[in-house]
């Protein structure tokens, strides 16, 4: 009996010890895990920072009193109080009016970039830098500052405004380069690190996670497939690298969503796979050549999917096939549903457009489509996209301020609405409750002028509306049926 009692007491003592010891050990393990995470981020900073550069740009601009041209980083640019704001520096000009056109004094902008290894140009005495096009556009002088404070004058190797990618060259070799990762493998929730020069504060590191992938239709670039992150990004970070925990570049920090002009938890980066494809073309040819299929496409809404007797709402709808286009020659028809491109499932208009654009001209591509409820395969030979062809294929674009969705006028649409091809834009949607809706603007109307300026396409329209963003008022000349009339739209 005594032995049993001793055993029970021993067990109780052991349990008490475990009760106190295990939490202490767990706490120690938790602290150790945090310590290791901290060291991991410090290691990333040490390995990546020497390849991150500070970019200073000098430029001059001309502007006139007849229009207020919002400078690229004014608080009103580009979409009023709720906007997707490019960031390049706080002191990039002003919006003062002048009675006559005058020459601006030199203005200085700033941004970031990073040194990468080029497959196309391997010179021991030169280094190459990836950054955003909007960091260096309109530049007259570009200065690169390294982490060790060395300074170099850079020249532009090539730029692609449509994807917002630019390549710079400096005359010095043997600089540390960053490894380019695989952005297609990124998953929501992964740790990422943004490094750059916000507000001119060199080599600032911020940490966050991948909030989303495949963000498009934001109106930032013509070709969009953004990584969204909550890593703090501010003016001056633009062009800097977004890296994973291995220190591999997965994106180029490009834009933020902000009401204040500063960090609000939503930043966007160009996936490095897309940026690298563009960069290699710029390095090799000095320009970017994109593929052309020759179709107008639209998102497949649940209502459209039901009307086409589809069991699943997947793919995109072919709204129009251009005459003598690669699509027409391959037998693609209006009303087809494209569900895959080279065995890659299609989830959106933007993703499909990017896939076609990045396909080398004159290469054959297998498409899977659904036609009359049956799945068929079509092989199409991609052609080269020219500026003329691109204007006819521009997808619908939205004007948030006005509540309009517009599209370029193709020859078929011109005939239908009785206007000249290449003159004006067609209104395809009017948002309920918007200023356009309250002004009784109708779907099917054609906007011919914005602020008394003739417009040819959606780019012209967007450019003119942006110039009115500060006044928050725009004058439109609209053709409805066979009548033309002016209308002023105001928004707050």
d(CA 489, CA 434): 10
Q: Which of 118, 127, 134, 225 is flagged as catalytic? A: 134
d(CA 273, CA 250): 8
d(CA 390, CA 379): 22
- Tokens representing 124? 């021991």
Q: Which of 164, 225, 396, 460 is flagged as catalytic? A: 164
Q: Cβ contacts of residue 387 below 8 Å, gap of 6+?
A: none
d(CA 485, CA 303): 34
d(CA 237, CA 219): 20
Q: Which of 139, 238, 325, 399 is flagged as catalytic? A: 238
Residue indicated by tokens 């497959």 = 119
* 238 assigned to active site: yes
* 134 assigned to active site: yes
* 164 assigned to active site: yes
| Long-range contacts of residues 87-94, Cβ cutoff 8 Å, at least 24 apart | 87/111, 87/233, 87/234, 87/235, 87/236, 87/237, 87/238, 87/255, 87/256, 88/134, 88/135, 88/235, 88/236, 88/238, 89/200, 89/235, 89/236, 90/199, 90/235, 93/61
Q: Which residues belong to the active site? A: 134, 164, 238
């Amino acid at each position: 009996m005594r032995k049993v009692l001793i055993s029970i007491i021993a067990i109780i003592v052991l349990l008490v010890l475990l009760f106190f010891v295990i939490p202490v050990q767990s706490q120690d393990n938790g602290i150790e895990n945090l310590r290791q995470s901290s060291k991991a981020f410090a290691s990333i900073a040490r390995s990546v920072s020497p390849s991150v550069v500070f970019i200073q740009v000098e430029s001059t601009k001309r502007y006139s009193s007849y229009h207020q041209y919002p400078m690229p980083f004014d608080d009103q640019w580009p979409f009023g109080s709720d906007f997707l704001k490019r960031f390049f520096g706080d002191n990039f000009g002003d919006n003062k009016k002048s009675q006559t056109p005058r020459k601006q004094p030199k203005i200085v902008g700033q941004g970031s970039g990073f040194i990468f290894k080029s497959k196309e140009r391997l010179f021991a005495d030169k280094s190459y830098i990836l950054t955003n096009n909007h960091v260096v556009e309109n530049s007259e002088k570009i200065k690169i500052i390294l982490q060790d404070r060395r300074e170099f004058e850079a020249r532009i190797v090539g730029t692609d405004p449509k994807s917002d990618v630019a390549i710079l060259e400096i005359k010095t070799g043997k600089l540390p380069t960053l490894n380019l990762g695989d952005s297609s493998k990124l998953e929501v929730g992964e740790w990422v690190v943004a490094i750059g020069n916000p507000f001119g504060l060199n080599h600032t590191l911020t940490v966050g996670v991948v909030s989303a992938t495949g963000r498009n239709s934001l109106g930032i670039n013509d070709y969009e497939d953004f990584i969204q992150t909550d890593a703090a990004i501010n003016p001056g970070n633009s062009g800097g690298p977004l890296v994973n925990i291995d220190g591999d570049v997965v994106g180029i920090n490009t834009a933020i969503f902000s009401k204040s002009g500063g960090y609000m938890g939503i930043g966007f980066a160009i996936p490095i796979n897309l940026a690298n494809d563009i960069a290699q073309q710029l390095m090799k040819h000095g320009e970017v050549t994109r593929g052309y299929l020759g179709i107008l496409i639209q998102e497949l809404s649940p209502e459209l999917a039901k009307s086409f007797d589809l069991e699943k709402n997947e793919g995109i709808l072919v709204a129009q096939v251009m005459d003598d286009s690669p699509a027409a020659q391959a037998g693609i028809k209006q009303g087809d549903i494209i569900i895959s491109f080279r065995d890659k499932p299609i989830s959106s208009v933007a993703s499909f457009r990017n896939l076609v654009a990045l396909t080398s001209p004159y290469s054959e591509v297998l498409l899977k489509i659904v036609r009359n409820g049956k799945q068929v395969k079509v092989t199409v030979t991609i052609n080269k996209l020219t500026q003329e062809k691109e204007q006819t294929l521009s997808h619908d674009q939205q004007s948030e301020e006005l509540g309009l969705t517009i599209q370029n006028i193709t020859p078929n649409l011109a005939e239908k609405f009785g206007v000249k091809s290449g003159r004006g834009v067609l209104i395809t949607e009017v948002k309920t409750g918007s200023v356009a809706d309250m002004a009784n603007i109708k779907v099917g109307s054609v906007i011919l002028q914005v602020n008394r300026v003739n417009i040819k396409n959606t780019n012209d329209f967007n450019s003119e509306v942006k110039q009115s963003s500060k006044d928050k008022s725009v004058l439109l000349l609209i053709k409805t049926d066979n009548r033309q009339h002016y209308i002023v739209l105001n928004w707050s």
